[in-house]
């Protein structure tokens, strides 16, 4: 096992993300040694460390003189390209094994996708339910329907209090890593205070129990809600553990299903949660490997604006943006709707360059790895793939954010003002986006309604929208 500098800095990852991964690696190495495995481990600050996977593997090959190298397929195209060079560089056979921490292998995804004109997640998800038997009663979906999304759109009320976050106190191994990260990556985005991610399998299993017991019953109802100073709501906070292998997708789905079968959580919560893991998570991975490397190069909406600096500093008057970025800085976490409908929506409406936004998302979240970050940002958020992943852009005005959150209550802008002084920027940016991208979007049947509304607006109003958006974008 090797900690390598290249992986910690090829994007400037959040400090907590680096600490989380290094600490989990060191704990895992210890557990293996306790079970009498021989572990050859190089640390980031070892004098001899060459700082890259290839460099460290070359050194290890010189030490151990193996007959062959066996690795698991990686989570990133960039690393796969590196691995493909190893047989020649090392003069050894290299066996790349299937990553069995997923429920759908890449080969099976390829078979599912073959001969399909569109790859809609919902069909993939149903297939996965059938194939795994998760949340099934024989041939039928539990509760009689595949999807209970329509029940999952509640705003958080004052009377509902989300549970405390599950936390693990740093032990000496983690404290060492926190020191290392403070010293070496002090200028990276994000704070380390209150670091409490689980770093062992045992702790991750406790985090899963905590979620199932305390949050899952309300997960569905408040899945799309956002609230000031409530960064976690009823979300699982399990993605970092799933993505580095401390938890496995089947056991997580099984724990949720058991909660439903024992009457502890309702079907809308459990189905909504299972869909994220069995559906979205497996689906975006399949799309990533099916479509890379071309996928990353598309830019269907010709977005070419640099990423505004406030994505890093949080300095903006837009309360929803400032809060989401502050949560991200503090926790290396924001939940899905913050990522999609706040920072993502803003980037879509303002036409941020895909590569710059992708780098931001890859850097700032503890759960971010290319196979899952890229399809979500490039496809779901930016529609840069032209609709391969999402059937329409997730563009929304301030009204959506106002309906689903309390951010607007304390914002200097008003979601009710559409244009002129005090208007919420999401409002005029939304209509500006529809006007600017009309040629590309208006034939999409799911965009008919917004274009009809746009066409009912007077010429003067449309002109005013364009003017205010232009002035705002120039200042950006
Ligand atoms: P919950 O809301 O409790 O959901 C449960 C689980 O479902 C998650 O743990 C996760 O494993 C899975 N999941 C939910 N939505 C998705 C999705 N769209 N794609 C894949 N898995 C999903 N997720 C990552 O794991 N890594 C990323 O780098 C990442 N980047 C994202 C970037 C953008 C722009 C967007 C819109 C979403 C991104 N997501 C990413 C998906 C999702 O936002 C996170 O998985 C989720 O917020 C993790 O928090 P949670 O564990 O509390 O999730
Ligand atoms: Fe965000 Fe607009 Fe609401 Fe302010 S008014 S919080 S900018 S949606």
Phi and psi angles of residue 469, each rounded to the nearest 5 degrees, phi first: -65, -40
User: What residues line ligand 1, using a CB cutoff of 6 Å?
Assistant: 235-239, 242-243, 273, 276-277, 280-281, 284, 335-336, 339-340, 344, 361, 365, 367-369, 372-373, 376-377, 380-381
327: CA distance to ligand 1 center in Å? 16
Q: Whose CA is nearest to atom 1 of ligand 2?
A: 320
What pLDDT is attached to residue 152? 77
- pLDDT tens for residues 379-432? 999 999 999 999 999 999 999 999 999 999 999 999 999 999 999 999 999 999
* Torsion angle of C-alpha atoms 113, 118, 120, 126, degrees rounded to 10: -50
Mean pLDDT of 155-164: 90
Is the bond preceding residue 361 a cis peptide, omega within 30 degrees? no
What pLDDT is attached to residue 347? 98
Contact by Cβ (8 Å): 94, 86: yes
The CB-based long-range contact list for 84-89 (8 Å cut-off, 24+ gap) reads 85/54, 86/54, 86/57, 89/54, 89/58
Instruction: Provide DSSP, 158-215.
Output: TT--PPPPP-----HHHHHHHHHHHHHSTTSSS--TT-----SHHHHHHHHHHIIIII
Whether the predicted pLDDT of 296 surpasses 80: yes
d(CA 50, CA 64): 17
318: CA distance to ligand 2 center in Å? 6
pLDDT-derived band at 334, boundaries 50, 70, 90: very high
d(CA 126, CA 11): 36
Whether the predicted pLDDT of 122 surpasses 80: yes
Give first-to-last CA distance, the chain, whole Å: 44
Domains present along the chain, CATH in parentheses? 5-97 (3.40.50.620), 106-170+198-291 (1.25.40.80), 310-475 (1.10.579.10)
344: CA distance to ligand 2 center in Å? 14
pLDDT-derived band at 153, boundaries 50, 70, 90: confident
Contact by Cβ (8 Å): 234, 222: yes
What pLDDT is attached to residue 34? 97
- Ligand number nearest CA of 231 is 1
Tokens describing residue 181: 């990260």
What pLDDT is attached to residue 151? 76
Q: Give the closest residue to 441 by CA, choosing from 392, 394, 396, 400.
A: 392
In order of 178, 272, 400, 471, the CA distances from 160 in angstroms are 35, 20, 21, 40
Q: Whose CA is nearest to atom 8 of ligand 2?
A: 398
Q: Helix or strand or coil: residue 140?
A: strand
pLDDT-derived band at 17, boundaries 50, 70, 90: very high
What pLDDT is attached to residue 398? 98
3-state DSSP of 277-321: HHHHHHHHHHHHHHHCCHHHHCCCCCCCECCCCHHHHCCCCCHHH
The CB-based long-range contact list for 333-337 (8 Å cut-off, 24+ gap) reads 333/231, 333/232, 333/237, 333/365, 333/366, 333/367, 334/231, 334/365, 335/226, 335/231, 335/232, 335/233, 335/235, 336/223, 336/235, 336/276, 337/223, 337/224, 337/225, 337/226, 337/404
Q: Helix or strand or coil: residue 143?
A: helix
Name the strand (E) or helix (H) holding 434: helix 425-436
pTM as predicted: 0.97
As a whole number, the mean pLDDT across the chain is 96
What pLDDT is attached to residue 158? 85
Tokens describing residue 315: 């300095």
DSSP lists the bridge partners of residue 94 as: 69
- CA-based R_g, the chain, Å: 23
315: CA distance to ligand 2 center in Å? 14
Phi and psi angles of residue 95, each rounded to the nearest 5 degrees, phi first: -100, 120
DSSP state for residue 157 in the 8-state scheme: P
């Amino acid at each position: 096992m090797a900690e390598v500098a290249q992986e910690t800095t090829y994007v400037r990852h959040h400090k907590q993300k680096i600490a989380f991964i290094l600490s989990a690696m060191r704990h895992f190495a210890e557990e293996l040694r306790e079970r009498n495995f021989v572990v050859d481990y190089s640390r980031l600050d070892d004098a001899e460390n060459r700082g890259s996977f290839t460099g460290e593997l070359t050194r290890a090959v010189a030490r151990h003189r193996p007959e062959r190298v066996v690795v698991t397929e990686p989570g990133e195209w960039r690393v796969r390209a590196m691995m493909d060079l190893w047989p020649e560089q090392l003069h050894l056979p290299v066996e790349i094994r299937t990553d069995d921490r997923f429920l759908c292998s890449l080969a099976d995804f390829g078979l599912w996708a073959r001969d399909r004109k569109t790859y809609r997640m919902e069909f993939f998800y149903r297939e996965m339910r059938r194939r795994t038997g998760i949340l099934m009663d024989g041939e039928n979906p539990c509760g009689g329907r595949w999807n209970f999304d329509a029940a999952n759109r509640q705003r958080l009320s004052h009377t509902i209090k989300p549970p405390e976050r599950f936390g693990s106190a740093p032990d000496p191994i983690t404290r060492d890593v926190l020191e290392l990260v403070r010293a070496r990556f002090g200028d990276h985005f994000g704070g380390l205070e209150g670091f409490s991610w689980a770093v062992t399998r045992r702790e991750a299993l406790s985090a899963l129990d905590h979620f199932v017991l305390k949050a899952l019953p309300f997960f569905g109802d408040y899945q799309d809600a956002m609230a000031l100073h409530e960064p976690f709501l009823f979300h699982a906070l399990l993605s970092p553990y799933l993505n580095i292998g401390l938890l496995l997708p089947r056991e997580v789905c099984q724990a949720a299903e058991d909660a439903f079968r024992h009457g502890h959580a309702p079907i809308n919560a459990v189905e909504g949660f299972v869909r994220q893991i069995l559906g979205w998570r497996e689906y975006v991975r399949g799309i990533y490997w099916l479509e890379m490397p071309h996928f990353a190069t598309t830019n269907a909406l010709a977005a070419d604006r640099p990423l505004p600096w406030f994505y890093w500093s949080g300095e903006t008057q837009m309360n929803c943006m400032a809060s989401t970025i502050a949560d991200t800085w503090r926790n290396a976490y924001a939940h899905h709707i913050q990522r999609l409908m706040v920072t993502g929506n803003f980037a879509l409406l303002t036409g941020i360059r895909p590569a710059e936004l992708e780098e931001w998302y890859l850097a700032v979240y503890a759960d971010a790895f290319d196979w899952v970050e890229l399809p979500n940002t490039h496809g779901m958020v930016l529609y840069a793939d032209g609709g391969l992943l999402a059937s329409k852009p997730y563009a929304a005005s301030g009204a959506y954010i106002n309906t689903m959150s309390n951010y607007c209550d304390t914002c200097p802008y008003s979601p009710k003002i559409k244009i002129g002084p005090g208007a919420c920027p999401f409002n005029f940016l939304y209509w500006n986006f529809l006007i600017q991208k009309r040629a590309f979007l208006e034939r999409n049947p799911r965009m008919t309604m917004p274009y009809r509304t746009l066409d009912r607006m007077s010429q003067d109003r449309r002109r005013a929208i364009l003017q205010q958006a232009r002035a705002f974008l120039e200042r950006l």
